[in-house]
Chains A and B, each alone.
Chain A
Amino acid sequence: MDVLYFAWVRERIGLPKERIETRAATVAELVDELRAREERYAAAFADLSALRVAVDQELTDFDAPLAGAREVAFFPPMTGG
Chain B
Amino acid sequence: MRVVVQEQPFDFGAEAADFAKGRDDIGAVVTFSGIVRADGAMTDMEIEHYPGMTEKALAAIAAEAQARWALGDVLVIHRFGMMRPGEQIMMVATASKHRKDAFEAAEFLMDYLKSRAPFWKKESGAGGEGWVAARDEDEAALDRW
Residues of A within 8 A of B (CB): 4, 6-8, 54, 57, 59, 73, 75-81
CB distance from B61 to the nearest CB of A (A): 10
> Does A80 contact B50, Cβ atoms closer than 8 Å?
no
Q: Are B90 and A80 neighbours in the complex by a CB distance under 8 Å?
A: yes
How near does chain A come to B122, taking the closest CB pair, in angstroms? 7
Partner of B34, one of A75, A77, A81: A81
The answer on a CB contact under 8 Å between B53 and A73 is yes
- The reply on B114 being an interface residue by CB < 8 A is yes
A contact residues around B133 at 8 Å (CB):
76-77, 79
Q: Is B120 within 8 A of A76, CB to CB?
A: yes
Chain B, interface size category, equals: 20 to 34
- A6 with B118, Cβ < 8 A, contacts A57-B52, A77-B134, A80-B113 known: yes
The residue among B53, B56, B121, B122 with the most chain A CB atoms within 10 A of its own CB is B53
User: Of A6, A8, A78, which one neighbours B116 at CB under 8 angstroms?
Assistant: A78
**Residues of chain A within 8 A of B121, CB atoms compared:** 79
Question: Is B90 touching A81 in the complex (CB atoms < 8 A)?
Answer: yes
B104 to chain A, nearest CB (A): 17
B120 with A81: CB separation less than 8 A: no
| Listed residue (A4, A8, A57, A79) with the most chain B CB atoms within 10 angstroms of its CB | A79
B116 in contact with A59 (CB, 8 Å):
yes
Chain A residues positioned under 8 Å from B56 (CB to CB): 57
How far does the Cβ of A70 sit from chain B's closest Cβ, in whole Å? 12
Q: Are A76 and B134 in contact (CB under 8 A)?
A: yes
B44 CB, nearest partner CB in chain A, Å? 16
Chain A, Cβ-Cβ closest to B32: A81
Is there a chain A Cβ closer than 8 Å to B14's Cβ?
no
Contact of B132 among A4, A6, A79 (CB under 8 A): A79
Give chain A nearest CB distance to B37 CB in angstroms. Answer: 12
**Contact assessment for A81 and B89 in the assembled complex, using a CB-CB cutoff below 8 Å:** yes
A57 touches B50 (CB 8 A): yes
Q: Does B119 sit at the interface, judged by CB under 8 A?
A: yes
* Chain B residues with CB below 8 A from A7, complex form: 48, 120, 122, 131
